[in-house]
Structures are given as C-alpha cells and as structure tokens.
Structure 1
C-alpha cells in the first residue's frame, strides 16, 4: 500500500492531477466583439450588439417534449428540431438558442431555470436594413464571415477570443463562484469602406425603380471615382439584408457586380474606337461606308438597326453602327486588337480583391473563329463584369490611365491605430491622353445627338454609351429568345471628381 501511495502521490501525481482537472474543470470561451464596418464618412453599415445564447443540460430535463413545444412557441423553431437537441441523456450540454435578444433568452430560461444557462455574446446587425448587403456579406451563427467584406477581413474584424476556466460537479454543472479569468478577449478592429452611404442608397433606390418599370429580373450598378478607383456605390437588385441571410437564396446573396460576366453589346465599342484611334488607322472625321446597314462575316449577316451609308467615324460611334464599327475594327490585326482589350482590363481580375470576382470571358486569339474579330468589336462573344466595364470607362475619364478599383479605405486595429490605409494605384496608361480626350467628346455626342439621348441632364454635359445584348443560352448554343441585357455606362465630364456609373 505504501508503495502504491508513493506511486500515486509522488511519482505520477502530475498525471493524476491533470486527469482530475480535466474532469472537474470546463473552459468557457469569452467572445470578442466583432468590429464594425462603416462607409467613408463613418456611417455604420454592420455592427455587433449584445446578444445572449441559451444552453441546457439535457440530463436535467424532465419533460423534454413539453419543454420543446414551449421553446418553439417563443423562438419559432420547429419543436421536433429542439427536441432532438435537448432529449439526450448521454450529454450534459446542448444549445437551445444562439445569439438572440437578452429579453427573449430570459423568457426561455424561465421555462426551466435549473437546466438552462445564459451565455453572453454578440450578434451582427445592419442599421441601414442591409444597404450594400451583397458587398458586406454575412456572418454565421459563430460570428465568422461567410462572404464579401465580412469574409475578406474576417481576421481583422474578429479580434481574439478569451476564456475562463470554471469548476463543474459530477453532473457537469458549473460550481458557482469558481470561474477564474485566464485570458481576456481582444475586440476586433474596424473596417471603413470607400462606399458613400448616401450615394449607395440613391443608386439602390433608382435601380429598384428601373427594374420595376422595365420588368427586368435583376440589375447591377456601380459608381466609381475615375481618378482614384475608389468605389462609391456597388448595388445589386434584388436587394439582400444579411440579417436574414439563411432565408435568402444564395443567388441573391452573390455580388453580381463582380461575379457575373455578361455580353456588353455596344458599351464595349469604346475599346474598338479607342484602339483604332490610338493606332492612328482612323480619325474621328474619316468617312466610313456602313454599307446601308448590312455586312456579311463568314457567311453570316450582321445588320444595323438603322441603316447608314457613308458617315464620319464619330457618327458611326454616336449612332452605334455595328457595320461601321466592324469595318473600323478590321483595320487592326486580331493580335493588336486583343492587346487593347487586355490593356483595358478585360479577361483579368480588376485587383479589387473581393472574394468571388470573375475575370470575365475572353478567348485568346488562337481560339478565335473567323467571326470573332467582328463580333467582339460590337460587344458579343465576350463576357465582362460591371466593375470591369466601369474601370474601362474610368480610364477614358482619367486621361487614359487605368486605376485599380478598391472598396476598403482603411482598417483600424482594436486600439484605434491604423493597420491598413489604401492609396490610389495606377495600373497602366491604356491609351494616349489625346485619344482619351477624343473619346470623351465622342461619348458626349452619343448623349447629345446619338443613341444615348435619354441620359441627358439639363445644364450638364453627359458622356456615355448604351448597350443592348442578347443573353447567351446556358448550354452555349446561341442566345435566349427575347432575353436581353440592357446597360448604360457614362460620366459627367465637367464634374470633379468624375464619377463613372454603369
């Protein structure tokens, strides 16, 4: 016996002490408060508020079925789902409800106070009813970012959890007054976006009205500062409120401004026009024979909506002649034309850094058919995102310089110090400054006297281009009958800063 006692109390005392501690102690996580996301002026877009979670010791539950019904009446969760969690005699812990209003949690605990326990935490809320919802993204029940800014900056926003250790009795219940703090939680930092909440609200409202008026199924819009690349608004309709993300179809949660490429149609003609002007194979005043609105390419006929004969190239652009644009594009080699497409940023990610960004659809010239050069020139057989298109127009509004778009202005650590601050970044000069100025004048003529007259604003010059493109079939075989993507891209040339809108 003496030898055995020496073995237990001296030789292996540390091992047995650790085993006893494991049976008697429980570690309780102390949640850090998730940082807030705000617009560029400090308006809160996503914040974390106090919340309470309710846990239960199933071994103490006496009337599980009746209790599940009572809890269901308060939370709205089906009683059978609750019953499956609380009717378990093989465990001493289960969640009843997570991250709910403290007052609701108290009502639930009052149903069986001996079996239930309240734990403090936080829940994510959006004070402006989900403004910029797809950009912000959502957090899950454990306050972990699932997409958008919440995912991209999850580490900075989350902070660092702390914990306490507390003693438990043989039934797994916490022993009162035995909790000792081991590590304090460190709250998360804050993220300030380039988004302007006022601009965002206007864009979302106007986009919603346009969709209602036209009967469209969805819409996208972006407002981009040309000289810096700062995104001032990024909108998707149907709108999405991250507060109820579990009840929303994933397709609605997707930020289609960056993720969904579409055939741009005539808005893409800025690339064709910029390329031929830069290569000096044509001038704005050169005459183009539009062949009375019809041209044959590899045995297939491409037509204009309104036939034209010989007109200056600037009118080819303002009248949006497909035939005239194709004839102009044919003065370039496919390799040279492809180079300009890539220089404008198409076929590559923009560098905005948001999760889920698409690089669009652009085949290399080795995979072009005999028709590709012509159809791409008029915005078909190519897929672009709204952000890519806005960046391309912004390059023309910015003297030919393509800027990297960005949506995060700064990241602040939990102590208020600046952990990250964005600065505008020039990517490359896409076209000479003189060509950019020519393109601005040609875009202005589109609105003044061409196909973009509905974009006129009294007393202001507007530069822009309309586009209407058929929607490609999902199987890649032709186009959906009667389905179109209608778009407009433009800016106010006399406004500083120049804000490009798509």
Structure 2
C-alpha cells in the first residue's frame, strides 16, 4: 500500500502539471489568441498582390514623359487542374501566350500552387482565357511602363525594372508615390495546404498611384540636348551636362546628361551611361569659382567692386610655389580680374580674407552639401574645412581647385548672385495629382535663405557682364540681351594630382540683366579637340540661351543692341 507521503507528492506533481497546462491554455487561447489566429490564417491562405496603375510623369508643358499601358498576366494553379486535362490545356495556352507547349506542360506538372504562366500580354488575351472555362486558370490586370519621348530627359525621368520598381531618376525617388497601393487577393487552402475549390478572392482593394507634374519644359530640354549632342560630336568629349533653371524659384526647366538613354531600353545601355552627370558627377569648377571668391571678399568688406588689384605681372609666388597667370597683367580693376580670368588677381583677393570668412561664403552658397533636388544618388561634392587647408589652399580655391562641384550645385550658387543674394532650392516636381487629375500636393516653393548681401550680389552680377562683353565669355553673348557669366577650364583631378590631357570646360551664366529669369550652366567633360571653355562651353551657352529666350518669349533688354 502506497504511503501517505508518496500520495502527497504525487498530488503535488499533478497539481503543478495541471497549473502549467491551464496557464499554457490561457496563454495560447487568451493572451496570444491573435498571434495563433494569424499563424492559422497564414497556413490556410496565400496572398497575391496585383499592382494598381502606376502614376504618370508629365512635364510642365503637359507632355507625357512616363506612363503605363494596360496589359494582362495569365496565371495557373495546377492543384485545381486534373492531370488528364493538362496536355490539352498546355496546347491552348501556348497559342494564347506565345510560349512553347512543352514548357507550359512542364510547369503544370512541376509547380505546386499559384504561378504566372505569362505576363505583359495584350488585354484581348483575357477574353480568350475566360472562354477556356478552365478551372485553375485566369488572368489579372498588369501594365507596361512606356516612355513616349524616348531618351529625352532619360536620366532625370529614370526607369523601372521588370517588377515595376523604380530604379533611377524620378521613377526611383517617387517610387512609393507613383506605384500606389496594390490590390490583395487571397487563395484559400485546406488543412493539408492544398488549394480549395475556391478561386482567388478579393481581400483588399488597392489605390492607383499618383502622377507627377514636373518643372521640365520639353521644348527647352530638347534644345539643351541638341546643343550638347552637337558639341560632343565636334569635340569628341566623354560626356556633357547642362542645367536651365529659374534663379528666382529654383524650378528646373531642363536638366540634361549626355550620353543619355531610353528608359524603355535601359538594358541596352551600360551602367556607366545610366548616371545623371548633372547631379552625380562632382568635378573641379576651374575659374567659374573665381566669382565665389570675389563674393566672399566683398561680403567680408575687404574688397570694393571698383578697386584695382595687383596681378603681379605674370604670376604669383605662394608657399614657394610659383603660379602663372594667363598674361603679364599689372594693376587690373576687379571687373577685368574676372573678365580676363586673372589667376594672380583672384589669389590676391582670396588672401585678403581670413580662412573662416572664405569658408563661410563657400558653405553658405551650398558647396560640399547636396541641393536636395528630387533625384537619387546626388553627389555632395568635395570640400574640406579650413582646419584641413594647407598654405596653398586659398590660392587653390581661387582657381577652382581643392573643391569639386556638380553642375546643379554651381547653378544654385550662381542663382544667388543672379537673384540678389538668396539661396533657392532646385526643384523638379511642381505637384502630385490623383487619378482624376486633382492636385494632392500642390507646389509650395521652399523659402529662400539670404546668403549674400543684396548689394554684393548686384555688384557681382554687373561685374560678370564684363566677362561676356569683352572677356573670356564673348561667345556666350546673345544679341539683344545683357548676359552675365563666367568661363572655367579645369584639369581633371586624378590620384595625387592631375591627369595630363584631361580637362573640363564650364560656363555658368544668367540673363537678361538686370533682372535675370534664366540661369544656365554648361559642363563639357574631357573634350579632345579643344578644351578651352571660352571656345567650347561658352558657345554652347550662347546657342542654348538664344534659342530658349525665343521659345519662352523672354523680352530683349530695353535699349540694348538687337
């Protein structure tokens, strides 16, 4: 007979076991009820997402840059198709979807559940599939992305991959906005994870993507790309980029990068050709940076626009390094330091300031930081803080060295000179619209920040007119309009120095003075036949500006030559 103490121990163990069981039941059925309910649903159901129509991308002049056309996808679920019906079904589907019968039959025998037989088919296929009246086979709406203007603004517009995901340009930056919310279908399965007799059922209705209205003007974009194409063929340059922007609002009327690509045929373009040079290529700006140094000196109160500057008669010695000038200049007024692009004069001006004063203006004008334009992969450029400068750094900056900039960064800085000293944010997107065309997020310009005194900006803009009137930028002249700007010829930086025979030609300018409405930056990368900016970049600026003012109806400057 079992002792009383043993019975007590058995009773205690049973009681503890019962408490554990009850606690676990409470945990599973009450505390974790939703978790296990979701796990049960996951095992019984499978979801199928169908993308809703992707939004369009339209230019300010209402040209369709990116859109979608309706297509269909044919799906099958072999678990619902009897084996003896599969050979005949494969024959019928092969005729409809354009795939070999053997491949389709092999998929039907091999696959275990829902799959797509074919995608990107003509919508008429849907009616033909429905006439088959075959359980386990059906169609779902899909779409194909189209780019009616081909390579026009290709790097800015971007492209999508086979799954419809934005991969570059606006397509990538605004991917979530453009794609909307997918419609969700559910496929029920039994306890053995086999499909039930029910077909796909609607679970959650999706929402179409929103469309973008962008600031690009297709007419202006076309002009810019035509002129860049011409200069590439004439100089055999490696590439080119250009920006046309409103200096007042920051709206980009054109942003071009050549070589370009057709987003519908991006697979035919090597990765090197897919980048947007205007925002991704950071290059030394050469003498286009001299006005930035002059602006810093005037803002610091150490230079007056009417002053004479000692250009040292052919060069200047800094830290035991002799830096040559373009000619034997002596005393020059500030306007001629810019017009003749005197190296010694610009260096003399840079050395009037403390390092912090020059640094403050450079940073305030946006260098060394992104512009936050609505494009992916934007380069910050390279700019070091004064604590990392050498004895040659101020001289290097005066010549546009020891710093790298993108065409868009340079455009933003010159816009501050053109508009009276305000730093604007470059923008590509004016508004988003829903499927009915109603504005969802209307355009709200970012407030500009004052970075230069108004008088400094105005004086500097007037000084830059001399560059076009009788300096290195004569080829940028547009008859009838007062043009201000600056040339810049830079060497291509390489590891530890500069690459022989590799140059970059720049021109940055604006018109019509005294109240500019257009700002244009041109960058020609590694021209072979001729690399001087005065002969390569300035003429491109002049041709672009001359055509654009006509397109946009910009009035000639009153009282000027026509």
| TM-score bin (small chain) | 0.7 to 0.9
Corresponding residue SS for 1:317: helix
Structure 1 residue runs without a partner (length 5+): 1-10, 12-16
Does residue 1:219 correspond to 2:240, yes or no? yes
Instruction: Establish whether residue 395 from structure 1 lines up as the match of residue 405 from structure 2.
Output: no
Deviation at 1:467, TM superposition (A): 0.7
The size of the alignment, in residue pairs, is 476
| Equivalent residues of 1:166, 1:175 under 8 A apart | no
Equivalent in the alignment of 1:5: none
Distance 1:342 1:21, change over 3 A: closer
CA separation of 1:109 and 1:331: change in aligned 2, threshold 3 A: farther
- Measure how far apart 1:42 and its partner are: 2.5
Match of 2:505 in 1: 486
Q: 1:92·1:171 contact (CA, 8 Å) conserved in 2?
A: no
Cα drift, residue 118 of structure 1: 4.4
For the pair shown, the structure with the greater C-alpha radius of gyration is: 2
The reply to whether residue 40 of structure 1 matches residue 64 of structure 2 is: no
Q: Is the 8 A contact 1:85 1:95 kept in 2?
A: no
What SS is found at the alignment partner of 1:42? coil
Task: Say whether the 8 Å CA contact 2:382–2:404 is kept in structure 1.
Answer: yes
User: Given the superposition, is the C-alpha separation of residues 18 and 328 from structure 1 closer, same or farther in structure 2, using an over 3 Å criterion?
Assistant: closer
Match of 2:172 in 1: 151
Residue 12 (structure 2) aligns with: none
**Aligned mates of 2:506, 2:262 — CA distance in 1:** 25
Instruction: Give the match for residue 394 of structure 2.
Output: 373
Equivalent residue of 1:130, what SS?
A: coil
What is the correspondence of 1:1-12 to structure 2 with a 5 Å cutoff?
none
Offset, 1:412: 1.9
Give the conservation status (yes or no) of the 8 Å contact 1:98–1:141.
no
SS in 2 for 1:366: helix
Report deviation, 1:256.
2.1
Separation of aligned partners in 2, 1:298 and 1:497: 41
Task: Name whichever of 218-227 and 151-160 sits farther off.
Answer: 151-160
Shift of 1:101: 4.7
Whether 2:334 is the aligned partner of 1:336: answer: no
Match of 2:526 in 1: none
Deviations 1:238-280 (A, max 9, x none): 1122112233222322222112211000111110111122223
Give the Cα–Cα distance (whole angstroms) in 1 for the partners of residues 138 and 338 of structure 2.
70
Aligned to 2:208: 187
Matches within 5 A, 1:410-429: 410-429=431-450
Q: Distance between the aligned counterparts of 1:401 and 1:22, measured in 2?
A: 57
Paired with 2:138 and 2:43, the residues of 1 have a C-alpha distance of 20
Go from structure 1 to structure 2 and tell me whether the alpha carbon gap of 1:20 and 1:356 turns closer, same or farther (over 3 Å shift): closer
Once the two structures are superposed, residues 354-408 of structure 1 have per-residue CA deviations (whole angstroms, 9 ceiling, x without a partner) of 3211221100101011111110111011011111100111111101111111111
Q: Deviations over 1:99-142 (max 9, x none)?
A: 355579999999xx999764320111111113222112212222
Aligned to 2:277: 256
For residues 101 and 314 of structure 1, what CA distance do their matches in structure 2 show?
Answer: 65
Question: CA 1:18–1:472 in structure 2 vs 1: closer, same or farther (change >3 Å)?
Answer: closer
Tell me the TM-score normalised to structure 2 length. Answer: 0.75
Cα shift readout 1:266-297 (whole Å, capped 9, x = no counterpart): 11111011112222322233222212221122
What is the DSSP-based 3-state SS (H/G/I as helix, E as strand, rest coil) of the residue aligned with 2:382? Answer: coil
Q: 2:419·2:516 contact (CA, 8 Å) conserved in 1?
A: no
For the residues of structure 2 that align with 1:368 and 1:19, how far apart are their CA atoms?
Answer: 61
Root-mean-square deviation (CA, aligned residues, Å) is: 3.7
Q: Residue deviations 1:317-337, cap 9 Å, x none?
A: 100011110011110111111
State the partner residue of 2:555.
none
* Structure 2 unpaired stretches of 5+: 1-28, 30-36, 522-562
Q: CA offsets per residue over residues 60-83 of structure 1, 9 Å max, x none? A: 7989xx99xx99x968xxx9xx89
Q: CA contact under 8 A between 1:163 and 1:182: conserved in structure 2?
A: yes
Q: Name the CA distance, whole Å, in 1 between partners of 2:455 and 2:42.
A: 75
Shift of 1:419: 2.6
**Counterparts of 1:112-261 in structure 2 under 5 Å?**
118-165=139-186, 178-261=199-282
- Alignment TM-score, normalising by the size of structure 1: 0.84
In structure 2, do the counterparts of structure 1 residues 421 and 20 end up closer, same or farther at CA, with 3 Å as the change threshold? closer
3-state SS, counterpart of residue 67 of structure 2: strand
